[in-house]
Amino acid sequence: MGKINKSKWVLFCFSIVFGLIVSMPGLAYAAPIHAGPQFVDGYYADPDVQIYNGTYWVYPTRSTQVGESNTGAKSVDIFSSTDMVNWTKYPNVISSANISWLQHSLWAPSGAYRDGKYYIYFAANAINGDGQLGGIGVAVADHPEGPYTDAIGAPLINVVRNGAGPMDQDVFIDDDGQAYMYYGSWGECNVVKLNADMKSLGTWPDGSVYKKVTPTKTGDNDYFEAPKVFKRNGIYYMNYAAGVWADSSYKVMYATSSSVTGPFVPQGIMLHTDTTTADGPGHNGIVQSPTTNDWYIFYHKRYLNNSQRVLAYDKFEFNPDNTIKPVEMAEEDNFDDSNDTGWTTYGGAWTAAGGQYSVASNPGAKALLDTSFSDLIYEADVTPGSTGNAGLVFRVSNPGTGADAYQGYYAGLDVPNQQVLIGKANNNWTSLATAPMSLTANTKYHVKIIAQDDSLKVYVGDMTTPKVSVTDSTYKGGSVGVRTYDSAAKFDNISVQSSRYETENLIVSATSGDKHTMFGNGTGRDLSLSGGFGTALEANAVNDYVTYTVNVPEARSYSVRVGVKKGPNRGQFQLSVNGVNHGVVQDLYSTAFNYVELNVANITFSSAGDKAFKFTVAGKNGSSSANHLSLDYIKLVPN
């Protein structure tokens, strides 16, 4: 299946997210609104999420915060919200003050509710075997915010069984009311029954306590830790972390089963590192909005230039066959939470309030997101003042304080001169183009930038015809942000999407040969396919194919470009769109493996919307040893 549109501004988005589902008690008061690149301030990880009486509750690991010097958090902060926008922090709900056996570390809390009591299950003391003080504990309270007390005064699980480290626990209550706890690190997963008191373990029919339920291992992105189980349409879903938590290989996978005890069969990647936005997302919680029925994944991630973990959430969806559509980490901010968490400012006095990001008039103030976009679609609402100009910066590097103290591009609205402008900076200013436009001070304008290779287009108000269109190849990629030059300005509804999409989790048909999907980025079958994830088809026959969906944003002409891997065993392919062939047969043979971008075809679309792009094996070069296809990404470049 192809990626899905996460925003009406996205240029043919395929979604990279595998969905999950879990039912939480209570009703939400309002439909959740995505606000900000991270939703609470500070460094946190491993979030679980529950809904109690209309309020969302998030339980994360507390990392060492700014200004602290201790290593290994020894307390838990939790957060609540009625709208997933404005959050209240409850500090130290669990710590050595109420957990007597806590010695040096406390992490991965998860919540549960039963019979008027609220529970937090947690891992503590990082034991490596039986007989040590530590493992999985449980605390109980009469209210979700506490105060919590140690339910049993000792660990609930303090042994290693089936190779599963006693940590990263998650409680799942099935339709019949039976509560289960899944847990385990070190590459193995167990499930135990919880008795009705929620603080003691039951037994299985064979008299055992611990049952191994590790998803089937394939040697490619196998289970490592952090199980999360939920049920939908009679299917049990387990999502889990693969890779190494401390680097970019960390990701969320998912598996399915018809039984609460498995076997769980891996289905693919749900969420992984995106080199444009964030690194190492993983260890998550799942929630459904009872008012909108939308599903959300809460997870931690690292910004590209910061090793600390922060909390984020994104929407995900299911396919008609109950598989999960991959998640694309959103990079957007509507400032409804009245903070600019995730933004770095360079000069000027910035304020997030009233659902807008405001800056006083300043000669060259900037605010940037820690991103790295090359080909992009960038949209925002810009309200310029009566003097100077205000707008958006993109492909920015080496930022500093000062009017042109950065390298990159800027598109601005100039009220005094009644024009739209675009230019580039490198500690000086070079104008690239201007276009006349009637502009009114203190009026909101919707601005869109489409940057594809050396084509830079700026749209204002009218999203079909660019106000300014230039060609420049000076800067290839970098951060995005907002900027003002001698203008008091406001910004809102920031949305940034890459217009280059990876080909993964696709519909693949092979009458012979093997399908290899979701590889690359140093962890899969092809370790260097442009540093991302792609799909390979080890085809041995003509007419094998790979198909995916492209969401064409506008009725116009595009150049279709595809990132591929050439090599001695590569075949030839023909592109068709909705059953009509386009372009010539492409030959992927070369004497050595190399990565290239092919201009496959120029296509004029008479309508926008989803189109079926199909790459069919057409044969092979006489020198090639096989028909294999390796596809990394596809992008549409407006002609």
Residue 503 pLDDT: 59
Q: 558 with 639: CB under 8 angstroms?
A: yes
pTM for the structure as a whole: 0.87
CA dist., res. 537 & res. 30, Å (int): 45
The model's confidence at residue 511, banded by pLDDT at 50, 70 and 90, is low
Confidence of residue 30 (pLDDT cuts 50, 70, 90): very low
Sheet holding 265-271, edge to edge: 225-232, 235-242, 251-257, 265-271
Q: How far apart are CA 323 and CA 499, in angstroms?
A: 24
Sign of CA dihedral 404, 407, 412, 418: positive
| pLDDT surpassing 70 at residue 514 | no
Task: Please give the structure tokens belonging to residue 159.
Answer: 């042994």
Other beta carbons within 10 Å of 234: 8
The pLDDT mean for the chain works out to 88
Residues 6+ apart with CB under 8 A from 152: 137, 138, 199, 200
pLDDT at 270 over 80: yes
In contact, 77 and 65? CB cutoff 8 Å: no
Long-range own/partner contacts, residues 461-467 (CB < 8 A, 24 or more apart): 464/554, 467/420, 467/435, 467/437
pLDDT above 70 coverage of the chain, percent: 89
* Mean pLDDT across 393-405: 96
The pLDDT of residue 557 is above 60: yes
**b/e sequence 364-384, b meaning 16+ C-beta within 10 Å:** bbbbbbbbbbbbbbbbbbbbb
Mean pLDDT for 366-374 is 95
- Active-site entry in 46, 370, 379, 404: 46
Alpha carbons 286 and 15: distance in angstroms, whole number? 17
Nearest to 55 by CA among 84, 76, 77: 84
> Model confidence over 418-459: pLDDT tens digits?
999 999 999 999 999 999 999 999 999 999 999 988 999 999
The closest alpha carbon to 19, from 237, 196, 280, belongs to 237
Q: Which residues contact 80 (CB under 8 A, 6 or more apart)?
A: 55, 56, 57, 58, 87, 88, 90, 144, 145
Enumerate residues 6+ apart whose C-beta is below 8 A from 196: 114, 115, 179
The DSSP bridge pattern shows strands 211-212 and 500-502 to be unpaired
Q: What is the pLDDT of residue 17?
A: 26
In this prediction, residue 285 carries a pLDDT of: 96
Q: Which of 286, 280, 365, 298 is nearest to 87 (CA)?
A: 298
Q: Which residue's entry shows tokens 């049920």?
A: 231
**List 48, 170, 188, 225, catalytic entry:** 225
| Contact (Cβ atoms closer than 8 angstroms) between residue 49 and residue 39 | no
Percent of the chain past pLDDT 90, that is, above it, reads 68
What is the amino acid identity at position 23?
Answer: S
Pair of tokens at residue 539: 């085809």
Is residue 188 annotated as part of the catalytic site, yes or no?
no
Instruction: Provide CB contacts within 8 A for 62, sequence distance 6+.
Output: 44, 73, 75, 76, 77, 106
Catalytic (active site) residue 225: yes
Q: Are the beta carbons of 300 and 289 closer than 8 angstroms?
A: no
